[in-house]
Amino acid sequence: MSAPEDEERLLPLTQRWPRASKFLLSGCAATVAELATFPLDLTKTRLQIQGEAALARLGGGAGEAAPYRGMVRTALGIVQEEGFLKLWQGVTPAIYRHIVYSGGRMVTYEHLREVVFGKGEDKHYPLWKSVIGGMMAGVVGQFLANPTDLVKVQMQMEGKRKLEGKPLRFRGVHHAFAKIFAEGGIRGLWAGWVPNIQRAALVNMGDLTTYDTVKHYLVLNTPLEDNIMTHGLSSFPLAQPKLFFLLP
């Protein structure tokens, strides 16, 4: 075996397979964040759908008939009527979604940055390239994750159907995928993908652009090196909206 091959075998996995490592690390980080914030997502979905259903039934009097009002009361209502663990109803497809979405967008963004667009002679990545790269990465990540996003929302509403006396549609995550595919085919799994990727493009235009800009500023203007600590500090501003809702 040649010397270069021996040296490559001794490298850390993150250097031997950087894209795969980035995909896995992004997916793991997104999973932890999703488990922490999923109850907020569930209560948001319940409020949205209950409002639409009440409006369809009662028109102008929909507000008086709504069983839940506000995020806190909605969460407490779910705990009292369905049980504490139902706050994580549908979390499995949400985790699937974030592994695919977060891993896909990060790998796509890094590929665009390093291979397609490239950095300038001063090793600086222009802002306009970050904006375009972030939007394109969001589109790719969301398009790949759309089936899991669809199943996540469908699973979130199963508890509500049970309380209303309606039969449950799905026995589990994999049954939900199979049923949606059987009823709508491949196109059924990508229902609503156009507004989803539009939103993802705008979100990632802000997220990834901010992350990359802060990271390069820290590397160029502070003693910090391009390592996991710098990556964490760079992504900290992006975590503030979610952390804000978790604070008392």
**6 lies in a domain?**
no
**215 lies in a domain?**
no
87, 108, 135 — which closes off a domain? 87
Same domain, 77 and 130: no
Contact by Cβ (8 Å): 126, 120: yes
**241 lies in a domain?**
no
Give the three-state DSSP class for 234. Answer: helix
Same domain, 187 and 100: yes
Same domain, 184 and 96: yes
**140 lies in a domain?**
yes
Q: pLDDT by residue (tens digit) across 48-106? A: 776 655 555 555 554 555 555 678 888 888 888 888 988 887 788 888 888 888 888 88
Task: Pick the closest to residue 230 from 208, 212, 207, 248 (CA basis).
Answer: 212
**107 lies in a domain?**
yes
Residue 195 has pLDDT above 90, yes or no: yes
67, 87, 107 — which closes off a domain? 87
Residue in the structure block whose two tokens are 């972030």: 134
CA end-to-end span of the chain = 60
Higher-scoring residue by pLDDT: 123, 118: 118
Same domain, 72 and 102: no
Same domain, 101 and 68: no
Report pLDDT for 121.
65
Same domain, 112 and 57: no
Report pLDDT for 248.
33
Same domain, 181 and 120: yes
pTM: 0.71
Report pLDDT for 135.
93
Kindly give the interhelix angle for 91-111 and 127-156, rounded to the nearest 10 degrees: 160
Count other C-beta atoms under 10 Å from residue 101's C-beta: 25
- The domain of 64 spans 17-87
The HSE-up count of residue 193 (CA atoms within 13 Å, CB side) is 17
DSSP structure class, residue 44: H
Q: pLDDT by residue (tens digit) across 119-153? A: 666 667 788 888 999 999 999 999 999 999 888 87
83: amino acid identity, one letter? G
Same domain, 96 and 82: no
Q: E strands, 84-219, where?
A: none
Same domain, 39 and 109: no
Q: Which residues contact 124 (CB under 8 A, 6 or more apart)?
A: 216, 220
Give dist(CA 116, CA 238) in Å, integer.
25
**53 lies in a domain?**
yes
Same domain, 117 and 151: yes
Count other C-beta atoms under 10 Å from residue 246's C-beta: 10
**77 lies in a domain?**
yes
**230 lies in a domain?**
no
- Our count of domains for the chain comes to 2
Q: E strands, the chain, where?
A: none
Same domain, 115 and 166: yes
87, 104, 128 — which closes off a domain? 87
Q: pLDDT by residue (tens digit) across 138-194? A: 999 999 999 998 888 787 777 667 666 778 888 888 888 999 999 999 999 999 899
Residue 202 has pLDDT above 90, yes or no: yes
Count other C-beta atoms under 10 Å from residue 27's C-beta: 19
Same domain, 97 and 145: yes
Give dist(CA 89, CA 180) in Å, integer.
18
Distance set, CA 78 to CA 49, 82, 154 (Å): 14, 5, 17
